[in-house]
Amino acid sequence: MYNNYLLGAINKKTNRYENIMSVEKTNEYKCIGCDSDLILRKGEKKFQNFIHKQKNQCEYFKNPSEQILINDAFSHLKELLDTNIVTIFSKCSCCKFKFETKLPKFDFTTKNSNSVECLCGTETVCAFVVNDVNNYTNVPVHKINIQELIVRITIGFSSKKVELVSGINFKCEQCKKY
């Protein structure tokens, strides 16, 4: 199912989320679940993981709930959007080919429990939701499969570019002409 190795933590200096794939041994991190300090056990990039500095009852990494996984993936998606290293593809509803979907210009992003929004001023210009949770009308919404997001993050690690396929079918530029 999910890969728990990929859960991230909060960088204590920047107060921002960092995915396990991009954490550095020289930084200090705290647990999203219990707010306490973490130690990064570094092995191969793929196998590094966090443990709590002080043993406690927190099960954040050991036994994460579905909501923790969604929240973590969204925290990461927000960072990817903020640093502009995510490319969104959609499948054309006509020719079925994948094509790159340009995101609208946005100033900043916000994360909610079941979505990430891109905002321009006070206006939401696009949103990312999980699977079938969609509370948005009149805004382009990308449905993101969380499992796929996690897989893509792993694949995209070396290239620093993450590709995601939006669950919404649009028509590509070629098909729009006809």
Taking the CB of residue 31, how many other CB atoms lie within 10 A of it? 20
The Cα 172–Cα 44 span in angstroms is: 40
Contact between 94 and Zn ion by CB under 5 A: the answer reads yes
Alpha helical stretches, state H, the chain? 66-82, 146-155, 173-176
Contact between 79 and 35 (Cβ < 8 Å): no
In whole angstroms, give the CA distance from residue 114 to residue 71. 8
Closer by beta carbon to Zn ion, 34 or else 151: 34
Smallest distance, Zn ion to C-beta of residue 122, A: 34
Answer for which of 81, 126, 162, 172 binds Zn ion (CB under 5 A) is: 172
Site for Zn ion in 33-72 (CB under 5 A): 33-34, 58, 60
Q: Which is nearer to Zn ion, 93 or 131 (CB)?
A: 93
157 torsion bin: left (phi>0), alpha (psi -120 to 50), beta (else): alpha
- Of the two residues 71 and 115, which places its CB atom closer to Zn ion in the complex? 71
- Judged by CB under 5 A, which of 51, 85, 95, 133 binds Zn ion? 95
Q: Which of residues 125-154 bind Zn ion (CB under 5 A)?
A: none
- How many residues belong to the site for Zn ion (CB under 5 A)? 10
Interface with Zn ion (CB under 5 A) = 31, 33-34, 58, 60, 92, 94-95, 172, 175
